[in-house]
Amino acid sequence: MKKISISPKTSTWLLFFSASCTYPYDYTYQVTNQSDADITVVYEVSYGDYTKTIKRDSTAVILETNHGGEDAGGPYFDDVNKDLHAMKVYQYDTLLSHRDYLRNESWTYNNGLYSTTVTDSEFD
């Protein structure tokens, strides 16, 4: 069996390159509709404006994205404003939710998944 030896200089370079690796983690935003009617979610991201209708008692993904290369150990929580630039939720096409979906407190984060639940109380 042939023995392979690595010089201290080579091992330093290997350590540097392995420590500086970045990874593209995926992030998903989902909305659950627990109100008594269908809702319409209107939102803006860096590459466009979108509208999604979510039936009552349903959950829908409104956005899947990544934050580019990140250090190992992710995905990492980041401010929702990094991905969402605007978001409004309507019930019956005219009632606007009073909840601010651009605040982190409006979302639950777990391992790359941002989720929120819409209820009737938002439309008082």
Predicted confidence (pLDDT) per residue in 53-87, tens digit = 999 999 999 999 876 665 556 666 788 998 999 99
- pLDDT category at 16 given cuts 50, 70, 90 is very low
Q: Is the pLDDT of residue 8 over 60?
A: no
pLDDT above 70 as % of the chain: 73
CA–CA dist 55, 36 (Å, integer)? 9
Global pTM exceeds 0.85: no
The fold adopted by the segment(s) 25-123 is Immunoglobulin-like (2.60.40)
Q: In a 10 Å sphere around its CB, with 0-12 CB exposed, 13-18 middle and 19+ buried, how is residue 32 labelled?
A: middle
Give me 94's structure tokens: 């005219």
Q: Where along the chain do its domains lie?
A: 25-123
Residues 23 and 74 sit within 8 Å (Cβ to Cβ): yes
Across the chain, mean pLDDT equals 84
